[in-house]
């Protein structure tokens, strides 16, 4: 959540920072701001709304070799200009941009107020600006680094922080604790960002700061140091330049571009990982050999939001194919309930961004308690990926739209590979393994066939967009699909959409059913078809309108209902395909309602605050 960009070098900070911020807007778009140092003079600007608003307010000669910028997703205080970052100290010398949350902001604020500081915002970040300025004033050498170290020694909470001081006009000081910061090394210039996307078009040579690490950045490079001021050695790593590709490529929205990319993305996650002869998957990145895989007694998947729902799909695949007990849990809950961590359990952290702080903290907690964690992560080198013992990269390519699509499909496919691998070292027969490998190989083309029906699905979406509330139902394999369908719908249409197990209808939700409340029913052609059809009858008998997502030729009990026919895979893999039309439904309903599909209100792409 929120994005940080910084720069030191000859290009001038403002253009680099503004460009970087617009590439990070998907992390927050409530407000934005910038501060630049031009010799010994600091200038800053802040504005409400997207980065474009900020760009428009900047005077032409807003120049300076060093600068920091921020795009905000509000945590403390509403989205106003006063609450936008950078925050400046009362004496005007220090400016701070910050991602994360300062837990003890209230007592620090009271202390500073008692010392005469007048606060101008509701944010926790402003405390940091004043505290650092006070400490610079007190430091005999006036050292910004020392002041940042001393200030953060008094702070509880999480931060990715960039600080400038107009009395040290050649530098930015950075600090990381629980919120990522990356330094990109150029030729006589240095870039800073909370996310690779902001800087990868300038350089692919980067240093990821670790938690508890600090850095001084100048045009000629960086020096990293610990809380005790001891210099550390951090050789740069090379990153994939393509991860910065954020263009629309002729599509109107990132979400549409990304769901249309799914056939190609699906090929990429499967490429080189299917073994049709042995009917298994080759997953070297897991760092688990057959013996280690056989020793696993339980699988626990953790993730947030849609990634958690795909985790439910995955847990079910694992139980079905490997007969290992498996379940999924919201990572945002996991670490707060003093979980039992077992050495024979394989923990699977699933995340598109790899920066979701709840998922990251859960991984760290599991590892602290001696558990082994593998990651199913899209962004290479992200915090979750680096915190895990091994994993499966999703290879979905950059995902910009807040509403995730292609990454989720690739997560489900990666789970299928994991389930296959775990199954084949146990009792899953070679014939079943080969059946699934063959089915997996067909999935990219089958996704394409669903996408080819976009026009028809848009017609259904138009009708659904008129309803103020909807039900999504499914059972067993269909239930996580229904949950994800409801999630996507509410995320971008702002309509109330609720998912239920169809088996639970009679226990309460049936009371909601009326002609005004449409139900989207996920009905795979599997052993539960009869039970699913019975639920459809219960709804139809009470005047409920139905849209059934099923497969060609499936008899939905002779009911005259609207339907979307999705190509049939093997039953274990059907959830992968059944999810795709629900993305298109949400997208077209949101368009119908005139919403900003890529930037839904109140949300951000990566949730980096707990």
Q: Are 377 and 384 in contact (CB under 8 A)?
A: yes
Question: Which of 345, 352, 519, 550 is close enough to bind ligand M6R by CB under 6 A?
Answer: 352
Annotation says 488 is catalytic: no
Q: Is 216 in the site for ligand M6R (CB under 6 A)?
A: no
Q: Are 203 and 209 in contact (CB under 8 A)?
A: no
* Residues 455-494 as x/- pattern, contact with ligand M6R by CB under 6 A: ------------------------------------x---
Quote the CA–CA distance of 95 and 87 in Å, as a whole number: 5
Q: What is the largest CA-CA distance in the chain?
A: 84
Give the count of residues interacting with ligand M6R (CB under 6 A).
15
Write out the H or E segment, with its range, that includes residue 430: helix 430-452
Q: Is 351 in the site for ligand M6R (CB under 6 A)?
A: yes
**Paired residues of 175 in beta bridges:** 161, 214
Q: Is 356 in the site for ligand M6R (CB under 6 A)?
A: yes
Quote the CA–CA distance of 186 and 189 in Å, as a whole number: 5
Shortest CB 126 distance to ligand M6R, Å: 27
Q: Please report the DSSP string for 71-117 in residue order.
A: EE--SSS-S-TTTSSPEE-TTSSEEEEEES-BTTHHHHHHHHHHTTP
Shortest CB 351 distance to ligand M6R, Å: 3
Write down the number of H helices and E strands in the chain.
Answer: 18, 27
* Binding to ligand M6R in span 491-520, by CB under 6 A: 491
Shortest CB 253 distance to ligand M6R, Å: 14
Stretch that binds ligand M6R, among 208-216, 347-355, 460-468, 475-483 (CB under 6 A): 347-355
**β-pairing verdict for 221-225 and 231-232:** antiparallel
Stretch that binds ligand M6R, among 47-55, 237-245, 313-321, 351-359 (CB under 6 A): 351-359
Shortest CB 508 distance to ligand M6R, Å: 25
Question: Which of 35, 117, 439, 607 is close enough to bind ligand M6R by CB under 6 A?
Answer: 607
CB closer to ligand M6R out of 203 and 606: 606
Stretch that binds ligand M6R, among 144-152, 175-183, 352-360, 524-532 (CB under 6 A): 352-360
* Binding to ligand M6R in span 521-540, by CB under 6 A: none
Question: Which of 181, 183, 304, 584 is close enough to bind ligand M6R by CB under 6 A?
Answer: 304
Quote the CA–CA distance of 301 and 610 in Å, as a whole number: 19
CB closer to ligand M6R out of 280 and 306: 306
Q: Of 2, 388, 406, 568, which is the active-site residue?
A: 2
Q: Is 359 in the site for ligand M6R (CB under 6 A)?
A: yes
Q: Is 306 in the site for ligand M6R (CB under 6 A)?
A: yes
Scanning 453-597, the segments in alpha helix (DSSP H) are 454-464, 478-493, 529-541, 574-592
Question: Which of 44, 177, 307, 446 is close enough to bind ligand M6R by CB under 6 A?
Answer: 307
CB closer to ligand M6R out of 62 and 308: 308
Residue 210 to residues 153, 174, 179, 190, 357: CA-CA distances in angstroms?
Answer: 17, 11, 9, 18, 14
Q: Is 204 in the site for ligand M6R (CB under 6 A)?
A: no
Q: How many CB atoms lie within 10 A of CB 51?
A: 25
Stretch that binds ligand M6R, among 160-168, 303-311, 389-397, 456-464 (CB under 6 A): 303-311
Residues 6+ positions from 43 with CB-CB distance below 8 Å: 35, 36, 62, 64
Q: Please report the DSSP string for 139-182 in residue order.
A: STT--HHHHHHHHHHT--B-EEEEEEETTSTT-EEEEEEBS--E
CB closer to ligand M6R out of 94 and 578: 578
CB closer to ligand M6R out of 404 and 550: 404
Question: Which of 305, 478, 480, 524 is close enough to bind ligand M6R by CB under 6 A?
Answer: 305
Phi, psi of 267 (to 5 degrees): -60, -40
CB closer to ligand M6R out of 22 and 306: 306
Shortest CB 523 distance to ligand M6R, Å: 23
Shortest CB 178 distance to ligand M6R, Å: 15
CB closer to ligand M6R out of 86 and 474: 474
Shortest CB 397 distance to ligand M6R, Å: 14
Shortest CB 231 distance to ligand M6R, Å: 33
Q: Are 324 and 419 in contact (CB under 8 A)?
A: no
Shortest CB 6 distance to ligand M6R, Å: 23
**Paired residues of 472 in beta bridges:** 499, 520
Core vs surface per residue 238-275: b (16+ CB within 10 A) or e: ebeeebbebeeeeeebbbbbbbbbbbebbbbbbeebbb
Quote the CA–CA distance of 475 and 481 in Å, as a whole number: 9
Q: Are 32 and 16 in contact (CB under 8 A)?
A: no
Quote the CA–CA distance of 376 and 535 in Å, as a whole number: 34
First-to-last CA distance in the chain?
Answer: 10
Q: Of 257, 300, 488, 605, which is the active-site residue?
A: 605
Q: Is 376 in the site for ligand M6R (CB under 6 A)?
A: no
Quote the CA–CA distance of 467 and 475 in Å, as a whole number: 23
Measured from each CB, the residue nearest to ligand M6R is: 305
Shortest CB 491 distance to ligand M6R, Å: 6
CB closer to ligand M6R out of 7 and 309: 309
* Binding to ligand M6R in span 384-413, by CB under 6 A: 402-404
Stretch that binds ligand M6R, among 254-262, 353-361, 368-376, 467-475 (CB under 6 A): 353-361
Annotation says 506 is catalytic: no
CB closer to ligand M6R out of 159 and 308: 308
Quote the CA–CA distance of 472 and 433 in Å, as a whole number: 32
Footprint on this chain of ligand M6R (rule: CB under 6 A): 304-307, 351-353, 356, 359, 402-404, 491, 606-607
Q: Which residues are catalytic?
A: 2, 605
């Amino acid at each position: 959540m929120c994005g940080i960009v910084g720069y030191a070098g000859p290009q001038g900070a403002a253009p680099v920072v503004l460009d970087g911020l617009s590439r990070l807007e998907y992390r927050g778009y409530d407000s934005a701001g910038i501060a630049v140092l031009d010799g010994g003079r600091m200038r800053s600007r802040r504005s409400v709304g997207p980065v474009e608003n900020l760009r428009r307010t900047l005077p032409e000669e807003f120049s300076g070799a060093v600068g920091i910028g921020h795009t905000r997703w509000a945590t403390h205080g509403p989205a106003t200009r006063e609450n936008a970052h950078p925050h400046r100290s009362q004496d005007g010398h220090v400016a701070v941009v910050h991602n994360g949350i300062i837990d003890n902001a209230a007592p620090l604020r009271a202390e500073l107020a008692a010392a005469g500081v007048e606060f101008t915002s509701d944010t926790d970040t402003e405390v940091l600006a004043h505290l650092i300025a006070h400490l610079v004033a007190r430091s005999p050498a006036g050292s910004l680094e020392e002041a940042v170290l001393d200030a953060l020694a008094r702070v509880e909470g999480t931060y990715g922080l960039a600080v400038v001081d107009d009395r040290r006009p050649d530098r930015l000081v950075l600090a990381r604790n629980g919120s990522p910061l990356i330094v990109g090394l150029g030729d006589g210039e240095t870039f800073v960002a909370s996310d690779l996307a902001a800087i990868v078009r300038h350089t692919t040579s980067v240093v990821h700061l670790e938690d508890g690490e600090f850095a001084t950045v100048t045009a000629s490079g960086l020096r990293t140091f610990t809380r005790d001021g001891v210099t550390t050695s951090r050789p740069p790593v090379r990153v994939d330049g393509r991860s910065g590709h954020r263009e629309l490529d002729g599509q109107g929205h990132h979400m549409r571009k990304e769901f249309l990319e799914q056939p190609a993305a699906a090929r990429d996650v499967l490429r080189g990982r299917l073994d049709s002869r042995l009917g298994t998957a080759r997953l070297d990145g897991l760092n688990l050999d057959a013996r280690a895989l056989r020793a696993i007694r339980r699988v626990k998947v953790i993730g947030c939001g849609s990634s958690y729902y795909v985790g439910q799909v995955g847990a079910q695949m694992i139980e079905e194919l490997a007969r290992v007990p498996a379940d999924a849990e919201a990572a945002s809950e996991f670490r707060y309930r003093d979980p039992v961590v077992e050495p024979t359990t394989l923990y699977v952290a699933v995340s598109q961004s790899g920066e979701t702080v709840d998922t990251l903290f859960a991984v760290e907690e599991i590892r602290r308690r001696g558990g082994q964690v593998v990651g199913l992560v899209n962004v290479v080198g992200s915090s979750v990926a680096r915190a895990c013992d091994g994993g499966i990269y999703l290879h979905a390519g950059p995902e910009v739209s807040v509403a995730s699509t292609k990454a989720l499909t690739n997560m489900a496919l990666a789970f299928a590979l994991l389930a296959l691998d775990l199954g084949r070292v146990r009792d899953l027969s070679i014939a079943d393994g080969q059946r699934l490998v063959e089915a997996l190989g067909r999935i990219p083309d089958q996704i394409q066939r669903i996408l080819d029906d976009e026009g028809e699905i848009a017609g259904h979406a138009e009708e659904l967009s008129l309803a103020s509330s909807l039900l999504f139902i499914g059972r067993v394999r269909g239930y996580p699909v229904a949950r994800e369908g409801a999630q996507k719908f509410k995320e971008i249409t702002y309509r109330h959409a609720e998912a239920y197990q169809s088996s639970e209808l009679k226990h309460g939700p049936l009371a909601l059913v009326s002609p005004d409340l449409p139900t989207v029913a996920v009905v795979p052609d599997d052993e539960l078809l009869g039970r699913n059809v019975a639920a459809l009858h219960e709804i139809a008998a009470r005047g409920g309108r139905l849209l059934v997502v099923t497969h060609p030729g499936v008899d939905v009990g002779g009911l005259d209902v609207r339907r979307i026919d999705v190509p049939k895979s093997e039953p274990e893999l059907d959830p992968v395909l059944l999810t795709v039309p629900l993305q298109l439904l949400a997208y077209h309903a949101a368009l119908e309602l005139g919403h900003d599909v890529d930037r839904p209100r109140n949300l951000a792409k990566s949730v980096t605050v707990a």
